[in-house]
């Protein structure tokens, strides 16, 4: 019986590239769905006697309310996938999956994303629209402590102190799908407005959505909302 390292080496030889056969209807880009990955790797894993077992080792949930009053569940799961061979040898891969849904599917989405990327990374299959960290440079200001609001503002009724909203995504955990979902939420679920606001900042397709563009769009929308303006997308 082959141990897990021999089996994985054989799987790497057998696995072919996985085409981007699925299309995101909202954003128009093509991607590799979880079923595409399963359909490709399952027969190869079965032939070499390898299977995976998931274990959720950490989870975080948030419930948010859009401006239209609908609920949105956001789940972040840290999952350990153990790859076993028939002789009992194994190795572990820990990944993070994030999912957002208005119903009860947020955890399901997070688990599907986590498993897909665990397989893609273990088998060195290129992923979609990933921005190479070396392709961007960011200048970050020195972190400052919180500032006290102006005392005159605190004493005057009717004065609203503007509070900056920190983006959910950082440079380290940025990806296009999550950036789109967050901006979609800020646009109250309006897909067309989400497209237009990205286009306003130069992102005419999903490939143009970098962290810099996402941050500009996020700050623009938050500023519009905190100023209690009607969001001017056009």
Residues 116, 9 share a domain: yes
**What mean pLDDT do residues 36-61 have?**
93
The predicted structure's pLDDT at residue 65: 74
Verdict on whether the full-model pTM lies above 0.85: no
Check: CB of residue 207 under 8 Å from CB of residue 198: no
**What mean pLDDT do residues 54-59 have?**
94
Residue 30 has pLDDT above 80, yes or no: no
Structure tokens at 152: 């005159």
Average pLDDT of the chain is 76
Residue 142 belongs to a domain? no
What is the Cα–Cα distance from 40 to 17, expressed in whole angstroms?
Answer: 9
Residue 48 has pLDDT above 90, yes or no: yes
Look-up of token digits 């239209």: 68
Residue 8 has pLDDT above 90, yes or no: yes
Q: For residue 3, which of 102, 66, 88 has the smallest C-alpha distance? A: 88
**What mean pLDDT do residues 8-32 have?**
71
* CATH classification of the domain holding 39: 3.30.390.80
pLDDT greater at residue 210 or residue 29: 210
Residues 115, 10 share a domain: yes
Q: With bands split at pLDDT 50, 70 and 90, how would you rate the model's confidence at 225?
A: low
What is the count of structural domains for the chain?
Answer: 2
Residues 166, 101 share a domain: no
Distances (CA, A) of 39 to 43, 45, 81, 106, 133: 7, 11, 19, 23, 30
Q: With bands split at pLDDT 50, 70 and 90, how would you rate the model's confidence at 157?
A: very low
Residues 91, 177 share a domain: no
Range of the domain at 204: 153-226
Look-up of token digits 């080496």: 9
């Amino acid at each position: 019986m082959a141990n897990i390292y021999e089996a994985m080496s054989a799987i790497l030889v057998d696995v072919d590239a996985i085409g981007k056969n699925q299309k995101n209807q909202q954003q128009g880009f093509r991607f590799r769905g979880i079923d595409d990955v399963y359909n490709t790797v399952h027969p190869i894993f079965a032939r070499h006697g390898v299977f995976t077992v998931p274990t959720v080792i950490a989870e975080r949930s948030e419930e948010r309310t859009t401006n239209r009053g609908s609920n949105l569940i956001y789940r972040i799961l840290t999952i350990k996938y153990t790859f076993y061979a028939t002789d009992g040898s194994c190795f572990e891969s820990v990944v993070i999956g994030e999912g957002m849904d208005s119903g009860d599917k947020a955890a399901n989405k997070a688990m599907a994303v986590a498993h897909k990327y665990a397989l893609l990374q273990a088998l060195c299959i290129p992923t979609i629209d990933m921005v190479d960290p070396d392709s961007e440079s960011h200048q970050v200001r020195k972190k400052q402590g919180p500032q006290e609001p102006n005392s005159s503002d605190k004493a005057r009724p009717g004065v609203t102190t503007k509070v900056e909203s920190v983006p959910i995504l950082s440079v380290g955990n940025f990806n296009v799908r999550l950036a789109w979902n967050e901006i979609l939420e800020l646009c109250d679920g309006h897909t067309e407005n989400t497209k237009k606001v990205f286009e306003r900042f130069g992102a005419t397709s999903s490939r143009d959505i970098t962290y810099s563009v996402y941050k500009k769009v996020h700050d623009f929308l938050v500023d519009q909302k905190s100023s209690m303006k009607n969001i001017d997308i056009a």
